[in-house]
Amino acid sequence: MDALTVSTVISAPREQVFDYLQDIANHREFTDHYLVDWHLTRLDSVGRGAGARFRVKVPGNRFSWADVTFVEVERPHRIVEAGRAGKNNRVRTLGVYELAPAAQGSTRLRFTVQTMPATISDRLLESLGARAWLKRKTARAMRRLRAILEGEEARGNRVTVAGG
């Protein structure tokens, strides 16, 4: 799938937004409407190498498990996550959070996500509405993230280590 980008402006300093995002245990709070059953892949949930495994609630999807790991963390402006999803984890994923200063101490956050299907059948499944579905869910996640960081929405539970 071609890269898909959503953005928002958050009324919080860039460093605060970055500190929240670099802890992958926080991501469940704003994505739990479509990413569920989160588990950390290591004890330290902050910074490069932090990762999580979760299920993607795609209608009709039999192979719903996915995982991501932070592969690049450049304070305070960029976080890159790489992962795998789908049957036998053969669909590669790439997500990039880019943070830029905005007016009056706020932060412009842009999230770009891209999937790289491995087979024709994977590409066919993605072509049947996956892009529109993912854009809606990701846009909602950015709105929820903004509400959490601006104090309008209550914080949820953090992710724990699998089996913990």
Give the 3-state secondary structure of residue 17. helix
Domain assignment present for 154: no
Domain assignment present for 163: no
**pLDDT for res 116:** 85
Domain assignment present for 158: no
Q: What is the pTM of this model?
A: 0.90
**pLDDT for res 143:** 96
Domain assignment present for 35: yes
**pLDDT for res 62:** 75
Q: Which domain holds residue 69?
A: 4-149
Q: How do the pLDDT tens digits run along the chain, 164 residues long?
A: 689 999 999 999 999 999 999 999 999 999 999 999 999 999 999 999 999 999 999 877 777 899 999 999 999 999 999 999 888 888 899 999 999 999 999 999 999 999 888 888 777 777 777 888 889 999 999 999 999 999 887 676 667 666 55
Domain assignment present for 159: no
| Cα distance between residue 104 and residue 36, in whole Å | 35
| Residue closest to 65 by CA, chosen among 45, 35, 40 | 35
Domain assignment present for 143: yes
Q: What radius of gyration, in Å, describes the C-alpha atoms of the chain? A: 15
Domain assignment present for 126: yes
Domain assignment present for 157: no
| Cα distance between residue 76 and residue 109, in whole Å | 11
Number of domains in the chain: 1
The CATH number of the domain holding residue 104 is 3.30.530.20
